[in-house]
Amino acid sequence: MSWSLCSLDELGSVSRGRSRHRPRDASHLYGGPYPFVQTADVKAANLYLTEYEQTYSEVGLEQSRLWPPGTLCITIAANIAETAILGIEACFPDSIIGFIANADRADTLFVKYMFDAALKMQYRAYTQGAAQDNLSQAKLLALKFSVPDVAEQRRIADVLSAYDDLIENNRRRMALLEAAARQLYREWFVRLRFPGHEHTRIIDGAPEGWEHKPLASLCENETGIQTGPFGSQLHQSDYAEDGIPVIMPRDLVNFTISLDSVARIPEQIAERLDRYRLMIGDTVYGRRGDMGRRAFIGPRQSGYICGTGCLRIRPNPERINPRYLFDALGSPETAGTIASRAKGATMPNLNSTVLKTVPVLVPPRRMQQHYVEQIEPLTAMCELLAELNQRLRTARDLLLPRLMSGEIAV
């Protein structure tokens, strides 16, 4: 099959997102029924975008527009050339461009994979050098790329999407398992319907024998709560294509660590930053922006580096069960306290001093252990599915450039 050079607008319609009201943060624009997708939502999506942080009101919709499901969202600011396909109707701002394929010329999935395979890096190289990287619509349309006819595009997309469908199914299973574990925590330790609650007295809002203790008292004495390395310790030039993952807040997705776009450093630099290594039983916690992002460190993540925008919490297992503590940090009471204490002029920001005094509900050790035994099968299955997804991504990414270049025919 022959491939031909095309620009994006030769394959479908291209239009920039719309958010005309000034100021953009006016409160009356938000809180309604209309999904408002932003660049961070596009980056966080796997293939289809269905989750979002913000919504528009009727007034917000009037100064924007709704794009239909199937629109390819392409970021042109902040995270350059990240893509995701809308699985819902949604609005988005002018930092995102919407592409709607002409069914006779292009397959949307193929175009999305073309960005993943090559165009993302080409566009990023194209925008470097300015004070702030930015991809205009004109720049987006100036680049031509090679594509086959639409029938072959669909065959290629079908091969690659089979991997992504499996990844998404596994992700949904993981979300259900994690939700079941959180529900058990709420039942036992928030609603206080733990085994034997019928025969336990409640004193000052807590079951007899349970205590509220400051987080610092439950952690290792010297290294219990520690922020990631400062910028002077870890430079942009230290990062490499391969090596030890450095965990940033953006990598904390659905209470696990996502390696999809994780930064890495060589082992010799990781050795220099050994005090920031994560160990089994640690909790890594995002300290900037969206409070509550966290992940529990198991055998697969042991040895990763806690990044600049995160905190590492290392419990003393003689004082508290590490897995119980991880879930306790997400309880409404504790999470609310952390969020209320986060400081920052432009966004919430945590430090180790703030976290040290956060009170944590501590039940007897046998109750903690009983709880962990109940959720261990759920967490073990999540680990297995996460490992499977990583293998699926690796296999897909090996195929991706070869299929998108025509090296492998389908």
* pLDDT (tens place) for every residue of the chain, 410 residues total: 589 999 999 999 999 999 888 888 888 999 999 999 999 889 888 899 998 889 999 999 999 999 999 999 999 887 788 999 999 999 999 999 999 999 999 999 999 999 988 777 777 666 655 545 567 788 888 888 899 999 999 999 999 999 999 999 999 999 999 999 999 999 999 999 999 999 999 998 899 999 999 999 999 887 789 999 987 788 888 888 889 999 998 888 888 888 877 889 999 999 999 999 999 999 999 887 677 889 999 998 999 999 988 999 999 999 999 999 999 999 988 988 888 887 754 556 778 888 899 999 999 999 999 999 999 999 999 989 989 998 999 999 999 999 988 888 88
pLDDT for 215 equals 95
Q: Are 220 and 315 in contact (CB under 8 A)?
A: yes
pLDDT for 327 equals 95
Question: Of 145, 22, 227, which Cα lies nearest the Cα of 401?
Answer: 145
Beta strand pairing status for 206-207 and 145-147?
A: unpaired
pLDDT for 128 equals 57
DSSP secondary structure letter of residue 288: B
Distance in angstroms (rounded) separating the CA atoms of residues 346 and 207 = 40
CATH superfamily for domain 211-362: DNA methylase specificity domains (3.90.220.20)
Helix (H) or strand (E) holding 223: none
Residues 6 or more apart from 131 whose CB is under 8 A from it? none
Cα torsion angle, 401, 260, 74, 80, sign: negative
Question: 99: number of CA atoms within 13 Å, CB side?
Answer: 31
CATH superfamily for domain 4-147: DNA methylase specificity domains (3.90.220.20)
Cβ-defined contacts of 155-161 (< 8 Å, 24+): 155/410, 156/110, 156/113, 156/403, 156/404, 156/410, 157/107, 157/109, 157/110, 157/113, 159/399, 159/403, 159/410, 160/109, 160/113, 160/396, 160/399, 160/400, 160/403, 161/47, 161/109
pLDDT for 345 equals 47
Distance in angstroms (rounded) separating the CA atoms of residues 119 and 143 = 9
User: Which regions of 132-249 does DSSP assign to beta strands (E)?
Assistant: 145-147, 202-203, 206-207, 211-214, 225-227, 244-247
DSSP secondary structure letter of residue 343: B
Question: 350: number of CA atoms within 13 Å, CB side?
Answer: 34
Q: Residues of CATH 3.90.220.20 domain(s) within the chain?
A: 4-147, 211-362
pLDDT for 279 equals 95
Tokens of 363: 């039940």
Tokens of 201: 């007295």
pTM (two decimals): 0.80
**Residues 226-258 pLDDT 10s:** 999 987 788 888 888 889 999 998 888 888 888
Distance in angstroms (rounded) separating the CA atoms of residues 63 and 92 = 11
> Is cis: bond before 401, omega within 30 of 0?
no
